[in-house]
Amino acid sequence: MRGLRRWWDDTAGGLPATFWYLWSGLLINRAGAFALLFLSLYLTAARGASPSLAGLVVGAYGIGGAAGTLLGGVLADRWGRRATLLAAHLTAAGLMAALAFSRHLAVIAVLAALVGVAHSMPSPAFVAAIVDVVPEARRSRAFNLQFWAFNLGMAVASLLAGVLAEASFLALFLVDAGATLAAAVVIALKVPETLTRRPAVTPRAVVGRRPGLHTALTDRTFLTFVGLTFLLAVLTMQTSTIMPLAMRADGLRPSAYGLVVALGGALIVAGQLFVPRLIEPYRRSTVLAVSTGLMALGFGALTVADGLPLYLGAAVVWTVGQMLAAPPNAQINADLAPPELRARYQSVFYLTFPAASFVAPALGGLSLEHLGERHWLVVGGLGLVAAAGHLLAGPPRERRVAALRAATRRPVRAAR
């Protein structure tokens, strides 16, 4: 019993109540996030779209997400974390309900883009709020638990969505809207505003004369990290955009796809809390290189997958890679951001995911249609490029983090 208590204290001890309410809102939201998992199948099976057209419509969600991520970062730094989260969740719930009753592909594409805006706005605010309330020494635990909650919700969503997709696509969209609304209620009742209005502490030499969004967009060290994360995101997006189409081509049912996604979520739920201790002795760049290499191997193995057992085996490999990558990826992102630009840096970082959600289906649909199973060799090659990039970019990134910390501490000490 003492060992279990000590393990829990090491894993989740000392985190403030506000973090746990943010965590709960994220969990509720993701547990009901059915629709986007099956949007490509919905378009091809219920609306008669070709794989290429379905990829472009799903890609519209990514285009909207790119705008929503930047908008969410700016609003979270200016307007506040809580206000941004509430506005985004309430808007997303209404748009998802409208999408449930839409029939024309053009309307669906427009609504998908708008949903992308609303879905992406909360990400910078969520992470900025976590960094606001969690002490630096405990942030790695907090980010690990955030990733755990995200995937616990995804596992629940995938199991239920596979069954609902075979019964009613309408139910997918309505349950998604309801879960988003429930998350908004939790935030409204329990999450206070975490943005503190205080003078900037980072020297102008670091952030520029007029610090703002352009600072993050011109930070070369940070943008190199963002580019590598984009390649990782393109790999990850294969599971929700291209893989369901490949499984359908192999004669597998939607419930089989739901099982593959649920397996990944179950592995993360069972093992993610043990990851921080496992990777602690190693440099973050090394961990990210190994994790991205595992993802490349897993997706590359789909070249020879033609049945459910092979898909399940490949999912185990790429899921282990995702588990190892999550804590160092989030921690590096937080370390590279000046305090007064925290949400803006988060928005640029999270821009990789809506960008990947456009590139992955738009180009992936064409690739799958013309290359067939060789598409997965291309995906695996991208993963290997990202792994090599992390090894090369690691040392200069670590020097930049050390310099930023030193520059930030000097004015704080002088003020004291």
DSSP code per residue over 337-365: S-GGGHHHHHHHHHTHHHHHHHHHHHHHH
Q: Stretch 347-351: mean pLDDT, rounded?
A: 83
Count the alpha carbons within 13 Å of 302 in the hemisphere toward its beta carbon. Answer: 34
Longest CA–CA separation in the chain, Å:
67
| Distance (Å, whole) CA 296 – CA 318 | 7
Domains by residue range for the chain, with CATH: 16-189+213-415 (1.20.1250.20)
CB of 183 closer than 8 Å to CB of 25: yes
Q: What is the length of the chain?
A: 416
| Distance (Å, whole) CA 288 – CA 267 | 19
Residue 84 reports pLDDT greater than 90: yes
| Distance (Å, whole) CA 41 – CA 270 | 29
Question: Would you place residue 63 in the very low, low, confident or very high pLDDT band (cuts 50, 70, 90)?
Answer: confident
Q: What is the pLDDT of residue 295?
A: 92
User: pLDDT per residue over 94-107, tens digit each?
Assistant: 998 888 888 888 88
Q: Stretch 303-318: mean pLDDT, rounded?
A: 85
Compute CA distances 408 → 95, 137, 208, 298, 415, whole Å: 42, 17, 14, 41, 12
Least confident among 158-162, 239-243, 246-250, 258-262: 158-162
Residue 47 reports pLDDT greater than 80: no
Question: Would you place residue 202 in the very low, low, confident or very high pLDDT band (cuts 50, 70, 90)?
Answer: low
User: pLDDT per residue over 164-187, tens digit each?
Assistant: 666 677 777 888 888 889 999 999
| Distance (Å, whole) CA 116 – CA 302 | 28
User: pLDDT per residue over 113-123, tens digit each?
Assistant: 898 888 888 88
Choice between 108 and 85, residue whose per-residue pLDDT is larger: 85
Which residue, 353, 346, 411, is CA-closest to 64?
Answer: 353
| Residue found by looking up tokens 């201790």 in the block | 277
| Distance (Å, whole) CA 317 – CA 291 | 10
Which token pair is 122? Answer: 């909360």
CB of 305 closer than 8 Å to CB of 102: no
Supply the mean pLDDT for the chain: 80
Residue 389 reports pLDDT greater than 80: yes
| Distance (Å, whole) CA 147 – CA 30 | 11
Q: Stretch 347-359: mean pLDDT, rounded?
A: 80
Residue 353 reports pLDDT greater than 60: yes
Count the alpha carbons within 13 Å of 109 in the hemisphere toward its beta carbon. Answer: 12
Residues 6+ apart with CB under 8 A from 179: 28, 29, 31, 32, 33
DSSP string, 272-304: GGGHHHHHTTS-HHHHHHHHHHHHHHHHHGGGG
| Distance (Å, whole) CA 140 – CA 167 | 41
Distance of CA 166 to the CA centre of its chain: 27
